[in-house]
Structure 1
């Protein structure tokens, strides 16, 4: 089984952004050393617990500090950016780390509505651009190719065509993936013949149906001759199940806070999360998140990964190591996250 890693660059209550990035470098190096297939970083904005605001910046930082693991975005939220800008960023990453770059694209904003407007600018794109997402997807792929994309100009100009290229002399291209958590993305990935990733780590339902739709409707393309997919899952693995569940709790609390509309904060330390009182709604969200996560001692956690892969018919699982930390942990480290990768690798590789 192939295992990969998703990283939101979480920020604990005891960390600065610099601390969180230092911990992410250590985690990426751990994944690289252990033989994980790929390491993806997400795009979120204006969230106290998430430092992954710019995937290409983080990936450039990691490329020089890892050796062989594939690096990618999980993902770049395309409505937030001009297709040419995304194509240029990832063409440069591919030139710097050839054969190691994945470009995962999604259509969610990755932020709240106010932040989304600020991100795109007063004269920027609006919700109508969501409808243009399939075209933007094609443009990114074409501009990263060696041929570029042809832009039609007004007839009165001397040049009726103009070629846009993300980089002047591409020798290879990033691998393009479509991310999703709904049937829309499944239909689109199938129609365009793209590899597809389902965000099971936060989607409450629909994983099985979306993967089935994708496989049934898949149309072969130059990018994929047959359906290619994997899924993401939250994970907290420790020497004992009790410790794994304790380290997982702050992540579950964060999701309950998000989904009940309460003000967001940095990721709690274990002791602080344990001291909280929850409403019935919050308890239900926490219980649901725990049920969908990989959590436990090494052997039982590995069995859960195998069960997820078998149930959903995927041959690769992307682990989102979400363990927080106990008070007194070195702020520049995330030992629970490193341990999750190490213990799973011992059981599954």
Structure 2
């Protein structure tokens, strides 16, 4: 199965010495580069209270990125529903769709995307809205609230009209996201597009996607199953350079998995001097074996093989190339080059 579409997932990384504003500027530049290279969509994640990640508020970021581009689809990968009232999310994304019609995706996740204390603070001490027993109900409510006609709400024997925005003419495309089979089953039952988090939880990707496709029920949102693959990617002119650029992110993921401090990302020069203990080196190798790190030709071939294996024609890449000490703080040349080189190689063989 050939790749028809390439897309981007961006966590908006923050590196040593970089301000939040500079990290945002680097992602705006990356989104523009993705659009010019022919990428289809650009999603931003939701993570909180992490020194190395600036993607805390997807609706704000989506407005910023959509305003800086012209045709690129922009969306959340994802909006973590336990942290938000469904009506608030509906209002935010209905407004985004009104401002950028036909360009907005609403990816919805069930995880909090934060530590327990931050999660409590996001809810102001209130209950979660993403528990397994009621998550499907909250998803239904959120999607219904974004309908142009709105919904009717019955309270104390009276009916109230509720619209996310007064005069909507369309709605953003909803997607369910997951790293287990729970969201796959729910997406299939409700006829929604679905994405499995292969880039960090890829042991059961094939089984989960088979479950989603086999159980799918057509709906007004999606008449057939829709999915794509997510992959961590570094592309460089040589394999040696690609490996070098990947190491800062490898070290960050090892720190995350072993209870270490997740600090702003170090440079490729500093990462080159780090020697991991044997146990951590084994973990690094295990985690990165699902990544695509290499030259344009090898990366394109590996992605084509993955797309064929999982039966998808779209791949969303998470560009994880590190930055050098000499790079400007408002750009990440290696991430931009990864997208350029990959698009040239993939689309040349399409």
Normalised by the shorter chain, which TM-score bucket?
Answer: over 0.9
Aligned twin of 1:244: 242
Rounded to whole Å, the distance in 2 between the matches of 1:289 and 1:301 is 17
Rounded to whole Å, the distance in 2 between the matches of 1:127 and 1:114 is 16
Residue 250 of structure 2 contacts residue 284 of structure 2 at CA under 8 Å; is this kept in 1?
yes
**1:276 to 1:330, Cα distance in 2 relative to 1, 3 A:** same
Please give the residue correspondences for 1:164-179 in structure 2 after superposition, counting only pairs within 5 Å. 164-179=162-177
Residue 91 of structure 1 contacts residue 174 of structure 1 at CA under 8 Å; is this kept in 2?
yes
Residue 49 of structure 1 contacts residue 267 of structure 1 at CA under 8 Å; is this kept in 2?
yes
Residues 169-221 of structure 1 deviation map (CA, whole Å, 9 limit, x = unaligned): 11111001000111111111111110001111111411111101101111111
- 1:33 and 2:36 aligned: yes
Residues 143-170 of structure 1 deviation map (CA, whole Å, 9 limit, x = unaligned): 0001212211112xxxx21121100111
Rounded to whole Å, the distance in 1 between the matches of 2:332 and 2:163 is 40
**1:62 to 1:287, Cα distance in 2 relative to 1, 3 A:** same
Mean alpha-carbon deviation: is it higher for 264-273 or for 69-78?
264-273
Rounded to whole Å, the distance in 2 between the matches of 1:74 and 1:40 is 5
Aligned twin of 2:259: 261
Among residues 186, 198, 219, which one is paired with 1:188 in the alignment? Answer: 186
Residue 2 of structure 1 contacts residue 315 of structure 1 at CA under 8 Å; is this kept in 2?
yes
- 1:93 and 2:105 aligned: no
Aligned twin of 1:44: 47
Moved over 6 A (4+): none
Rounded to whole Å, the distance in 1 between the matches of 2:258 and 2:78 is 24
Among residues 308, 331, 334, which one is paired with 2:332 in the alignment? Answer: 334
Residues 286-313 of structure 1 deviation map (CA, whole Å, 9 limit, x = unaligned): 1123211111011011101101101111
Residue 96 of structure 2 contacts residue 104 of structure 2 at CA under 8 Å; is this kept in 1?
yes
Aligned twin of 1:15: 18
Residue 111 of structure 2 contacts residue 130 of structure 2 at CA under 8 Å; is this kept in 1?
no
Aligned twin of 1:140: 142
Aligned twin of 1:273: 271
Rounded to whole Å, the distance in 1 between the matches of 2:30 and 2:82 is 29
Residue 12 of structure 1 contacts residue 268 of structure 1 at CA under 8 Å; is this kept in 2?
yes
**What SS does the aligned partner of 2:198 have?**
coil
Rounded to whole Å, the distance in 2 between the matches of 1:65 and 1:170 is 23
Rounded to whole Å, the distance in 1 between the matches of 2:116 and 2:213 is 33
Residue 42 of structure 1 contacts residue 74 of structure 1 at CA under 8 Å; is this kept in 2?
yes
Aligned twin of 2:87: 84
Scaled by the length of structure 2, what TM-score is found?
A: 0.96
Superposed CA RMSD in Å reads 1.2
- 1:67 and 2:67 aligned: no
Please give the residue correspondences for 1:282-297 in structure 2 after superposition, counting only pairs within 5 Å. 282-297=280-295
Cα shift at 1:59 = 0.7
**What SS does the aligned partner of 2:176 have?**
strand
Mark the runs of 5 or more structure 2 residues left unpaired by the alignment.
Answer: none
Mark the runs of 5 or more structure 1 residues left unpaired by the alignment.
Answer: none
**1:128 to 1:215, Cα distance in 2 relative to 1, 3 A:** closer
Aligned twin of 1:125: 127
Scaled by the length of structure 1, what TM-score is found?
A: 0.96
Residue 84 of structure 2 contacts residue 129 of structure 2 at CA under 8 Å; is this kept in 1?
no
Rounded to whole Å, the distance in 2 between the matches of 1:200 and 1:128 is 22
**What SS does the aligned partner of 1:292 have?**
coil
Residue 241 of structure 1 contacts residue 295 of structure 1 at CA under 8 Å; is this kept in 2?
yes
Aligned twin of 1:152: 154
Residues 205-256 of structure 1 deviation map (CA, whole Å, 9 limit, x = unaligned): 1111110110111111111111110121000000111111111111111111
